Chain A
Amino acid sequence: EQQVQQSPASLVLQEAENAELQCSFSIFTNQVQWFYQRPGGRLVSLLYNPSGTKQSGRLTSTTVIKERRSSLHISSSQITDSGTYLCAPDTNAYKVIFGKGTHLHVLP
């Protein structure tokens, strides 16, 4: 059973378009973290929030814990935003569980 599901699996945008990435999870969690990864690269934390909305630059994360879902909104996409976005809700056991990611490709 897949505990963390992300959609869409892949997304192609034209530069300057907005993106909406979705994450749903079946586990109990207190907060969700979003990571970014370039192909073959290390993961970099983008945002984490227990609930509600949190913004960092062009990124906005909205999490509704009771409904077991989170979303990541990327505004005015840039070519350098291309990569994989991973959703990772934490568990009560001092660890997080990762979704398979959304592969974003931003075209010029």
Chain B
Amino acid sequence: EAAVTQSPRNKVAVTGGKVTLSCNQTNNHNNMYWYRQDTGHGLRLIHYSYGAGSTEKGDIPDGYKASRPSQENFSLILELATPSQTSVYFCASGDRDKPHEQYFGPGTRLTVL
């Protein structure tokens, strides 16, 4: 099974601060994804990437940026964090032609005060 790791696992940030969430996968998957999960909303796609150097907007990209500097790494960046961005964030990776086969990381719990 694909190995997807996230760091940090927990983060407390202040409103207006910059937050970077990191994701690493070791199975050479082309696609990577960032989701947030909130009670009442389920999992929602923020940004995704088809490969190194590419980033695409998902369903709720406002307030977030993404960076894919290499095949293995995909970062989610909150330039000016707000309390509404308090959530659990999941990273996933998958094969280019199999969007249904996504392998998830353990999640990062972000609290913005």
Residues of A within 8 A of B (CB): 31-33, 40-45, 48, 86, 88, 90-91, 94-101
A94 to B100, CA, bound (A): 8
Q: Which segment, of B15-23, B72-80, B101-109, faces chain A?
A: B101-109
Flag if A42 contacts B104 (CB, 8 Å).
yes
Flag if A90 contacts B88 (CB, 8 Å).
no
How many pairs of residues, A versus B, come closer than 8 Å at their CB atoms?
A: 55
A-B contact pairs, 30 of them (CB 8 A): A33-B100, A33-B101, A33-B102, A40-B88, A41-B106, A41-B107, A42-B90, A42-B104, A43-B43, A43-B102, A43-B104, A45-B101, A45-B102, A45-B103, A48-B100, A48-B101, A86-B42, A86-B43, A90-B99, A90-B100, A94-B50, A95-B33, A96-B99, A96-B100, A97-B45, A98-B43, A98-B44, A99-B42, A100-B42, A101-B42
A45 to B48, CA, bound (A): 19
Flag if B45 contacts A94 (CB, 8 Å).
no
B44 to chain A, nearest CB (A): 8
Residues 42-72 of B, flagged 1 when their CB comes within 8 A of A and 0 if not, give 1111001010000000100000000000000
Q: Which residues of B have CB within 8 Å of A44?
A: 104
B65 to chain A, nearest CB (A): 18
B75 to chain A, nearest CB (A): 19
A41 to chain B, nearest CB (A): 7
